[in-house]
Amino acid sequence: MEGQIETQSNEELQKLKGLLAISTVASQAKDLPDLWEPLFDKILDIMKVDAGTLLILEKNVLVRKVARNMSPAIWKEPPIPLGSKGISSKVAMTRKPAIYHDLSHAEIASAVVAKDFHSLITVPMVARDQVLGVMSIFARAQREFTKEDLDYFMSVSNQAALAVLAIQSSKLLLVNQRRIKELEALYQVSRSITTLFNFEETLYSLVAIIANLFKADKCAIALFDKATNNLIIKPPTFGLRDDQAGSLTVASDQGIGGRAFCKGIPVVLNVIDKETGEILQKADLSHIQSMAAVPLRSRSQSLGVLYVFSERPKNFTLENINLLNILASTISVVIGNARLFQETEEIKTRDEAILESMAEGVYATNRDGKIILFNKSMEQMTGYPVTEAIGKNVKEIISFITKKGKTLDAQGLLQKVLQTLEIFEQRDDFYLLNREQETIPISAVVAPLKGAEGAATGSIVVCRDITKQLEAEEMKRQLINIATHELRAPITGIKGYLEMILDGETGQIPKETSDMLKEISQINQRLANLVDDLLNVGRIEEGRIEVKPAAFEYNPLISQTIGEMTIQAKNKGLQLIFTPTGSNMIFADKEKTREVLINLLSNAIKYTTKGEVKVEISRNNKEVLTIISDTGIGMSQEEQSHLFEKFYRARNETTRSVPGTGLGLWIVREILRLQKGNIKVESQKGVGTKVSFTLPIAGAKATV
Comparison of pLDDT for 214 and 489, the residue scoring more: 214
Q: Characterize 376-403 residue by residue with b for buried, 16 or more Cβ atoms within 10 angstroms of its Cβ, and e for exposed.
A: bbbbebbebeeebbeebebeebbbbeee
Q: What is the arithmetic mean of pLDDT over 319-335?
A: 78
pLDDT in tens, 134-144: 999 999 998 88
**What mean pLDDT, rounded, does the chain reach?**
81
CA–CA separation, 290 vs 270, rounded Å? 5
Model confidence band, residue 341 (pLDDT cutoffs 50, 70, 90)? confident
pLDDT in tens, 651-675: 665 655 566 666 778 888 888 888 8
Instruction: Give the largest Cα separation in the chain, rounded.
Output: 177
**Which pLDDT belongs to residue 668?**
83
**Which pLDDT belongs to residue 199?**
65
Q: What is the arithmetic mean of pLDDT over 561-584?
A: 86
**Which pLDDT belongs to residue 3?**
47
Q: Assess contact for 570 and 564: CB atoms under 8 A.
A: no
Q: In sequence order, which residues have a C-beta less than 8 Å from that of residue 439 and are 6 or more positions away?
A: 401, 431, 432, 433
Model confidence band, residue 308 (pLDDT cutoffs 50, 70, 90)? very high
Comparison of pLDDT for 298 and 623, the residue scoring more: 623
Q: Characterize 119-150 residue by residue with b for buried, 16 or more Cβ atoms within 10 angstroms of its Cβ, and e for exposed.
A: bbbbbbbbbeeebbbbbbbbbeeebebeeebe
SS3 state at 458: strand
pLDDT at 229 over 50: yes
Cα-Cα end-to-end distance for the chain: 143
Of 312, 22, 326, whose CA–CA distance to 160 is shortest?
22
Q: Which helix (H) or strand (E) holds 523?
A: helix 511-542
**Which pLDDT belongs to residue 8?**
47
**Which pLDDT belongs to residue 690?**
93
Rg (CA), the chain: 50
Pairing state of beta strands 290-298 and 430-433?
unpaired
Pairing state of beta strands 575-578 and 612-619?
parallel
Q: At residue 661, what is the residue type?
A: T
pLDDT at 117 over 90: yes
**Which pLDDT belongs to residue 636?**
84
pTM value is 0.43
SS3 state at 54: strand
CA–CA separation, 382 vs 393, rounded Å? 15
**Which pLDDT belongs to residue 309?**
93
Q: In sequence order, which residues have a C-beta less than 8 Å from that of residue 360 and are 6 or more positions away?
A: 377, 462, 463, 464, 465
Q: What backbone torsions phi and psi does residue 29 show, to the nearest 5 degrees?
A: -70, 130
Q: Assess contact for 561 and 594: CB atoms under 8 A.
A: yes
pLDDT in tens, 377-415: 989 988 999 899 999 998 888 888 887 778 777 777 778
SS3 state at 66: strand
pLDDT in tens, 625-637: 999 999 988 888 8
CA–CA separation, 288 vs 115, rounded Å? 62
Q: What backbone torsions phi and psi does residue 34 show, to the nearest 5 degrees?
A: -75, -15
pLDDT at 457 over 90: no
Compute CA distances 348 → 242, 342, 352, 363, 388, whole Å: 33, 10, 6, 16, 21
- Residues 570, 574, 580: CA angle, nearest 5 degrees: 95
CA–CA separation, 376 vs 366, rounded Å? 19
CA–CA separation, 537 vs 670, rounded Å? 9
Q: Which of 6-15, 431-440, 507-516 has the lowest mean pLDDT?
A: 6-15
**Which pLDDT belongs to residue 121?**
93
Q: What is the arithmetic mean of pLDDT over 125-146?
A: 89
SS3 state at 127: strand
HSE (side-chain half, CA atoms, 13 Å) at 207: 26
Strand partners, 296: 304
Q: Which of 3-12, 14-23, 485-494, 614-623 has the lowest mean pLDDT?
A: 3-12
Q: Which helix (H) or strand (E) holds 679?
A: strand 679-684
**Which pLDDT belongs to residue 567?**
83
Q: Report all structural domains of the chain as residue ranges with CATH numbers, in order of start.
A: 13-171 (3.30.450.40), 196-343 (3.30.450.40), 358-465 (3.30.450.20), 471-542 (1.10.287), 550-696 (3.30.565.10)
SS3 state at 443: strand
Tell me the range of 11-15, 39-43, 288-292, 479-483 where mean pLDDT is highest: 288-292
CA–CA separation, 24 vs 37, rounded Å? 14
Q: Assess contact for 49 and 67: CB atoms under 8 A.
A: no
Comparison of pLDDT for 175 and 299, the residue scoring more: 299
**Which pLDDT belongs to residue 703?**
44
Q: What is the arithmetic mean of pLDDT over 168-174?
A: 59
Q: Assess contact for 159 and 46: CB atoms under 8 A.
A: no
Model confidence band, residue 196 (pLDDT cutoffs 50, 70, 90)? very low
For the chain, percent of residues with pLDDT exceeding 90: 21
Of 327, 313, 295, 333, whose CA–CA distance to 212 is shortest?
327
CA 606 to chain centre: 51
CA–CA separation, 13 vs 152, rounded Å? 12
Angle 554-571/590-606 helices, nearest 10 degrees? 30
Q: Which of 14-28, 258-272, 662-676, 678-692 has the lowest mean pLDDT?
A: 14-28
